[in-house]
Structure formats: C-alpha cells, structure tokens
Amino acid sequence: MTFIDFTKMNGLGNDFVILDYEEYKKAEIAPDKLALKLCDRNFGIGADGLIIVNPETTNSDISWIFYNSDGTVAQMCGNGMRCFARYVYDKKYVNKKRFSVSTKAGIIIPEIISDNEVKVNMGKPVLEPERIPCNSDFNLNIPYQIENNTFYLNAISMGNPHCIIFVEKESKKLALEYGSKMETDTLFPEKTNVEFVEILSRNEVIINVWERGCGITLACGTGACATTVAGIMNGYLDNTVTAKLPGGNLQIEWQGSPKNTEECVYMTGRADYSFVGKFYLNNS
C-alpha cells in the first residue's frame, strides 16, 4: 500500500492539495493523473488544484508544479501562490519572508506579511491579444454575442488568460449561466478564466469567477488582478481596489494606466491551513 502525506490549504476558499516533492515521487504516477485523483471531491481529498513543491531550481529561490483539478497545467494561480508561499516559509524551504518562485508564468515574488497574510508581486499584465492569447485585433470591450445577449469582453493575462465582463447586476447568475461557454469559446485558443464583475465604487468591486479547468470557485487571485487592470484601463477604477469574492476580500494595487502599462500588479490576501493527512493511493 502507498500512503502519501499531504497538506490542504485555502486562499479565501479556493482550495489546494500541497505535496512535498518526495511525496509526489512516492506516488509514481504522472502529475496530471495524480491531480485528478487527489482533487476529486468524492473519491479523493477534494481541491481546486494540486501544488507540488520543487526545491530544486536554478533561477529562483524555489519552484512549484501546479495542476488544475481536471488534470490540466495552470501557468499561474494567485490564491495558490499565497498558500504555497506560506507553506514553504513555514516548512523552512526558504529562510526569508520575501523570495522568488519559478512558475510557468515566469518569476513571481511573494512576501509573508503576517501569520496568515501574504502579498504577491504578480508581475506585469499582458495586454497584447496574441500573447494572452485571444483571437482578436484588440483586447478591451470586444463585442460578444451569446443567446441574444451582447457582452463586452476584456481580455487580459496575468500569466494565465482572463475574460472580464463588467455588468450592472447578477454577476453570480451570469457566471453560472455563461462561464463554461465563454471558457471554451474559440476566441480563447487556450481557454480562459471568466470574471463577471459588478462595480460598487472606484475602489470596490464584486467578482464572480468561472475558473478555467475548475468551474465556479470561491476566489481567483489572478482574476482579481486582471479585473483591476481592466477597470483602470477602462477608466472605471482607481489604482487601489478591494475585490470582493464569494470567499472573501483581496486587496489589489496597480499603479499603471492606459499610458503606462509596465507597472507590476500587487495582490494581498489570506492563506490558511485546512488540515493535514495521509491519502491511500490506489493506482488501479
């Protein structure tokens, strides 16, 4: 019998199974299949994603391997990064509060602020359609027709693609109704995360998210960052925003503007332990 030790963490309810590299190697199955097993909410531990700690890296303090619950690779995950940062700091894989993490989206810099709060330099937003990627000549206010409704999509990448739609009301209902269709639309060749957003003020928004590879989630850090950038680029929001998600709030800062898009986005929020345990891995 093979038992693997795991830690379950969450960032505003967006939950993750975290494995040390030795536990991952012990499993002796491909990481995509391991993600499917562990993240299954009926037969596994249950999570939105699988994070594997990889201490061996040449261009950063530490690295991670990240898979969505459906077994697909995720380039970045803001809530996952906060959980990962707290985990590797508490386990003493790193010996400083501000450190670098190698991801498929590039180098990300988290900083431990307190026992349960982490601030992350999420890097610069990507606005060029071909790099997002998005099959459009422009990335803001793309007209989109679906079931006799017209929405205006804002495509932005924070290392992973996002589709932000500003609406007046019913953001949760719209995410449930249209999220899956927009995620897989040919407009987004690598699929996309979808955010329906209600603006409460120039410093506060409500976000409901359909996450690529997961479905409806309680929070999405990169989505909150992309939403803030889209709001500023459209002139709707100021540079500091409270993003209100079903699982809680994130503080997002972007000092950029339509004339200066080279600033980094900063995200601050909670990272909490849920439980630890052993999982019996039946490879049949």
Instruction: Please name which of 125, 162, 165 lies closest in space to residue 141, comparing C-alpha atoms.
Output: 165
- Beta bridge partners of residue 64, listed in sequence order: 53
The beta strands (E) that lie in 76-141 are given as 101-103, 106-112, 117-121
Catalytic choice (77, 83, 163, 225): 77
CA distances 89 to 136, 162, 189, 238, Å, are 41, 29, 36, 33
Segments in 108-220 forming alpha helices (H): 171-183
Catalytic choice (134, 214, 220, 225): 220
For residues 244 and 47, what is the distance between their CA atoms, to the nearest angstrom? 21
In 3-state terms, what secondary structure has residue 247? coil
Confirm whether 220 is a catalytic residue. yes
Confirm whether 77 is a catalytic residue. yes
Point out the residues that are catalytic.
77, 220
